[in-house]
């Protein structure tokens, strides 16, 4: 399992993440958010995760094989607004 966190205060709406992982989308405030349903062709075995949204963060917990997509989105963010971390040593 892995956790993806978007720091909404750090996000500036450049959206480099959107081209790396289709679960990243623009929300109504012009900031990146997570929406697993936005993926037009999710790979077999992918899950919808558990998404928690607050005013400061969006946190998604996933248990699938798409961690590299999430890491690519985090690496593309020029503001370091996205972190991806292993949960409970599962990777």
SS3 per-residue string spanning 7-65: ECCCCCCCCHHHHCCCCEEECCCCCEEECHHHCCCCCCCCCCCEEEECCCEEEEEECCC
pLDDT value of residue 88:
79
pLDDT along the chain (91 residues), means of 10: 98 96 97 95 93 97 96 98 88 50
Whether 51 is in a domain gets the answer: yes
- Domain total in the chain: 1
Q: Is residue 80 part of a domain?
A: yes
**What pTM value is reported for the model?**
0.93
> Which pLDDT score is estimated for 90?
56
Residue 16 lies in domain:
2-86
Residue 72 lies in a domain: yes
Domain assignment present for 11: yes
Please indicate, yes or no, if residue 91 is contained in any of the structural domains.
no
Domain of 38: which CATH number? 3.30.70.20
């Amino acid at each position: 399992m892995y956790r993806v966190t978007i720091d909404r205060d750090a996000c500036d709406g450049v959206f480099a993440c959107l081209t790396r992982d289709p679960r990243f989308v623009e929300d109504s405030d012009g900031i990146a958010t997570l929406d697993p349903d936005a993926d037009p062709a999710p790979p077999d075995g992918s899950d919808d995760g558990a998404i928690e949204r607050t005013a400061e963060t969006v946190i998604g917990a996933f248990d699938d094989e798409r961690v590299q997509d999430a890491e690519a989105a985090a690496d593309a963010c020029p503001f370091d607004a996205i972190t991806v971390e292993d949960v409970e040593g599962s990777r």
